[in-house]
């Protein structure tokens, strides 16, 4: 179906929905890379998310769900179809006693700040992760010994049939950087978490310590998508890359960070092609030298 007709169907069926046409994806990814998407939808409610997904399914239009684009590389040719962005347009948080319910688009840093005010402990690990809650649930994000599965009670998702369903913690099947949501292609719209009260001073000190570790050991001042590769069993991706002599190696405007070899950074107007070629170079050299296959943690979408 013609994309203009899809646009008309969305406007007709979902009152007041915000849609951007030919929107440059580089404005919506932390890599600052990517060509335009045909249509970008910015829903405010879970009903708008569901409605947009069902229209895309009905008219067989490709659609992608993104948060704030912190783990995403969009190819230079952009995205044909629809991108549904769940970020600052979709970030309500409700707190009742020790139970927190939040929309998928809330930034982990913002949620962390809110939880600190309530003296809730257990979310310190997520304070510096540059992503949204929905993305963190999908991949069971973690750092410094903590993971989303430590605090999650359940999540509301849109399933493959376009229906809302609730999955409890066990049904989410959270494992290292994966979940049933990722495996089945569900879309997180809301998450429920349960916390215990802690000492506010201790919580703040823990966050301060994690922030110091991040800022001194990671290239946060340059555009990137965070850790480029998953941790291979028994190894650390960054150490393998450094031991292979690849620290600081460049392809075009993309570089293996001299500060942390696990990061590919955009140092000089890198294209997606630059980044992909550098990723492939790193994978080949590490495989040849150590026999280890590095899998990408960054998600790559779009066309050349």
Is the domain of 105 the same as that of 80? no
Where residue 163 sits, what CATH number does that domain have? 3.30.465.10
Strand-by-strand arrangement of the 18-24 sheet: 18-24, 36-42, 79-85, 63-66
Domain closes at, from 85, 115, 137: 85
Confidence of residue 214 (pLDDT cuts 50, 70, 90): confident
Q: Is residue 213 part of a domain?
A: no
Q: Is 32 known to be catalytic? A: no
Is the domain of 127 the same as that of 193? yes
Q: Is residue 77 part of a domain?
A: yes
- Condensed to tens digits (0 to 9), the pLDDT of residues 102-111 reads 999 999 999 9
Domain closes at, from 203, 232, 265: 203
Is the domain of 45 the same as that of 67? yes
The answer to whether residue 1 scores a pLDDT higher than 80 is no
Pick the catalytic residue from 70, 227, 257, 261. 227
Is the domain of 111 the same as that of 190? yes
- Condensed to tens digits (0 to 9), the pLDDT of residues 155-211 reads 999 999 999 999 999 999 999 888 999 999 999 999 999 999 999 999 999 999 999
pLDDT for position 250: 98
Pick the catalytic residue from 32, 177, 214, 250. 177
DSSP 176: T
Pick the catalytic residue from 118, 171, 273, 297. 297
Q: Is 179 known to be catalytic? A: no
Q: Is 110 known to be catalytic? A: no
Domain closes at, from 43, 68, 85: 85
Q: Can you tell me the distance from the alpha carbon of 11 to that of 19, in angstroms, rounded to the nearest whole number?
A: 8
Q: Is residue 102 part of a domain?
A: yes
Where residue 30 sits, what CATH number does that domain have? 3.30.43.10
The domain total for the chain is: 3
Residues whose CB falls within 8 Å of the CB of residue 209, separated by 6 or more in sequence, listed in order: none
Domain, as residue range, for 237 = 218-301
Q: Can you tell me the distance from the alpha carbon of 285 to that of 243, in angstroms, rounded to the nearest whole number?
A: 10
DSSP 131: S
Burial of 24 (0-12, 13-18, 19+ CB in 10 A): middle
């Amino acid at each position: 179906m013609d994309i203009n007709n899809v646009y008309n169907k969305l406007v007709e069926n979902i009152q007041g929905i915000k849609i951007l046409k030919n929107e440059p994806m580089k404005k919506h990814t932390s890599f600052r890379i990517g060509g335009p998407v045909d249509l970008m939808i910015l829903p405010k409610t879970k009903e708008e998310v569901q409605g947009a997904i069902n229209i895309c399914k009905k008219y067989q239009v490709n659609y992608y769900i993104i948060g704030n684009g912190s783990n995403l590389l969009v190819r230079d040719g952009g995205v044909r179809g629809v991108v549904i962005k769940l970020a600052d347009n979709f970030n309500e948080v409700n707190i009742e006693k020790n139970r927190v319910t939040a929309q998928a688009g809330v930034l982990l840093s913002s949620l962390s700040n809110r939880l600190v005010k309530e003296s809730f402990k257990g979310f310190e690990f997520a304070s510096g992760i540059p992503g949204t809650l929905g993305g963190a649930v999908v991949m069971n994000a973690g750092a410094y010994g903590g993971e989303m599965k430590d605090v999650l009670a359940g999540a509301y998702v849109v399933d493959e049939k376009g229906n809302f369903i609730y999955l409890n913690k066990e049904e989410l099947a959270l494992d290292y950087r994966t979940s049933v949501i990722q495996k089945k292609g569900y879309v997180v719209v809301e998450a429920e978490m349960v916390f215990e009260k802690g000492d506010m001073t201790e919580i703040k000190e823990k966050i301060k310590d994690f922030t110091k570790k991040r800022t001194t050991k990671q290239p946060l001042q340059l555009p990137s998508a965070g850790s480029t590769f998953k941790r291979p069993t028994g190894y650390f991706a960054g150490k393998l890359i450094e031991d292979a002599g690849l620290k600081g190696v460049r392809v075009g405007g993309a570089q293996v960070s001299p500060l942390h070899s696990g990061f590919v950074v955009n140092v000089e107007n890198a294209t997606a092609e630059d980044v992909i070629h550098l990723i492939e170079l790193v994978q080949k050299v590490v495989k040849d030298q150590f026999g280890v296959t590095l899998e990408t943690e960054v998600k790559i979408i779009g066309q050349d």
